[in-house]
């Protein structure tokens, strides 16, 4: 089963490597497909690769990614073992701009195939762009973070702040965005272990 998953995911990854469906394919250095464990119970979807991710081909490896890893580990998780991590688009938008709706929609099938293959217990939409992709452009991240939905064929899905926002908010005091994010991660842990 694990081997079957790996074969399927590698096939999707190869398709992405040969994909130029949207403009982002023209300027990428590498496609940024995934990181973590394909057998994990939790699948986290971020926005889009940045410069560090484009250079390495791995999601969430820059400053924001390091902060995400730190918070995950402080809550008792292993990023490597407990999460499968990917993004709404596989190629870096120039100047780190937000991917357009058209780019997200052209790339969506790869993401949906990843979700179907990994078949997680919990999905985490990380940041406003990721959340808007699935909950509509009108949502406000401050109003929906920490809430739970049934999406992607009835999978428990929640929303957390993007770590790049947390980089600008250093406080860890009760009620601060970092504190709230840690409460969200504890809840994700609880739900994933049920």
Residues that bind ligand SF4 (CB under 6 A): 16, 19-22, 24-25, 31, 89-91, 103, 106-107
Between 106 and 188, whose beta carbon lies closer to ligand SF4?
106
* Closest CA relative to residue 164, chosen from 139, 130, 123: 130
Beta strands in 60-154, from DSSP E residues, in sequence order: 83-87, 122-126, 148-151
Q: Residue 180 CB, nearest distance to ligand SF4 (Å)?
A: 31
**C-beta closer to ligand SF4: residue 99 or 177:** 99
Shortest distance, CB of residue 80 to ligand SF4, whole angstroms? 24
The least distance separating ligand SF4 from the CB of residue 22, rounded to whole angstroms, comes to: 3
CB of 19 to ligand SF4, least distance (A): 3
Task: Rounding to the nearest 10 degrees, give the CA dihedral for residues 53, 54, 58, 64.
Answer: 10
Residue 90 vs 162, nearer CB to ligand SF4: 90
Q: Which residues of 24-48 are buried (b: 16+ CB within 10 A; e: fewer)?
A: bbeebebbbbbbbbbebbbbbbbbb
Contact call for residues 66 and 144 (beta carbons, < 8 A): no
Least CB distance to ligand SF4 at residue 28 (A): 6
Residue with smaller CB distance to ligand SF4, 104 or 145: 104
The pairing of strands 122-126 and 42-46 is: parallel
Q: Helix axis angle, 177-193 relative to 63-74, nearest 10°?
A: 60
**What phi and psi, each to the nearest 5 degrees, are found at residue 182?**
-65, -35
Nearer to ligand SF4, 23 or 172 (CB): 23
């Amino acid at each position: 089963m694990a081997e079957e998953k790996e074969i399927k995911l590698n096939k999707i990854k190869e398709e992405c490597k040969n994909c130029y469906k949207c403009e982002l394919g023209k300027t990428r250095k590498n496609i940024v497909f995934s990181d973590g464990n394909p057998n994990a119970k939790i699948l986290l979807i971020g926005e889009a690769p940045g410069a560090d991710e484009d250079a390495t081909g791995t999601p969430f490896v820059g400053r924001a990614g390091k902060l995400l890893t730190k918070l995950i580990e402080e809550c008792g998780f292993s990023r490597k073992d407990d999460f499968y991590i990917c993004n709404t688009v596989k190629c870096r938008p120039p100047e780190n701009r937000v991917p357009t709706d058209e780019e997200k929609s052209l790339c969506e099938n790869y993401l949906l195939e990843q979700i179907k293959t990994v078949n997680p217990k919990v999905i985490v939409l990380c940041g406003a762009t990721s959340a808007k992709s699935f909950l509509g452009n009108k949502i406000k991240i401050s109003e929906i973070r920490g809430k739970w939905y049934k999406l992607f064929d009835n999978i428990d899905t929640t929303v957390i702040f993007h770590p790049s926002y947390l980089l600008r908010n250093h406080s860890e005091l009760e009620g601060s965005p970092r504190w709230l994010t840690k409460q969200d991660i504890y809840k994700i842990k609880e739900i994933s272990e049920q």
